[in-house]
């Protein structure tokens, strides 16, 4: 499902508060799993450039845009056990 389709659905929802956030989270996960290839920070930036994202007005649509904005921030590599400090007993 495209960003525009997801946002169109979220715009039609009368949800507010936690319900809007839950719908936005579900929409974001739909976008992540429906996007061909990897969902990268660049893909999120491109999604934010769509007219639908820029015109988001309902609480659920604005929350979805917030998830896209958060996805624009690259996550640094997680450190495994070898990268942690040694615990002495």
- pLDDT tens across 42-64, in order? 999 999 999 999 999 999 999 99
Q: Examine residue 41 and state whether it is found in any structural domain, yes or no.
A: yes
Q: Examine residue 15 and state whether it is found in any structural domain, yes or no.
A: yes
Q: What whole-number distance in Å separates Cα of residue 79 and Cα of residue 65?
A: 29
Give the number of C-alpha atoms closer than 13 A to the C-alpha of residue 75, restricted to the C-beta side. Answer: 7
Q: Examine residue 86 and state whether it is found in any structural domain, yes or no.
A: no
Average pLDDT over residues 51-80: 90
N residues, the chain: 89
| pLDDT tier for residue 74 given thresholds of 50, 70 and 90 | confident
Say how many domains are in the chain.
1
Average pLDDT over residues 21-41: 93
Residue 48 in contact with residue 72, Cβ under 8 Å? yes
Q: Examine residue 50 and state whether it is found in any structural domain, yes or no.
A: yes
Q: What whole-number distance in Å separates Cα of residue 74 and Cα of residue 9?
A: 28
Average pLDDT over residues 30-43: 91
The 3-state DSSP class for residue 34 equals helix
Q: Examine residue 9 and state whether it is found in any structural domain, yes or no.
A: yes
Residue 86 confidence (pLDDT) above 60: no
pTM recorded for the entire structure: 0.82
């Amino acid at each position: 499902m495209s960003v525009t389709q997801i946002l169109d659905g979220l715009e039609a929802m009368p949800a507010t508060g936690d319900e809007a956030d839950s719908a936005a989270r579900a929409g974001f996960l739909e976008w992540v799993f429906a996007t061909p290839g990897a969902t990268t920070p660049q893909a999120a930036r491109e999604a934010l450039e769509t007219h639908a994202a820029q015109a988001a007005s309902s609480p659920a649509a604005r929350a979805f845009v917030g998830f896209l904005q958060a996805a624009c921030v690259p996550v640094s590599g997680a450190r495994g056990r070898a990268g942690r400090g040694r615990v002495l007993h």
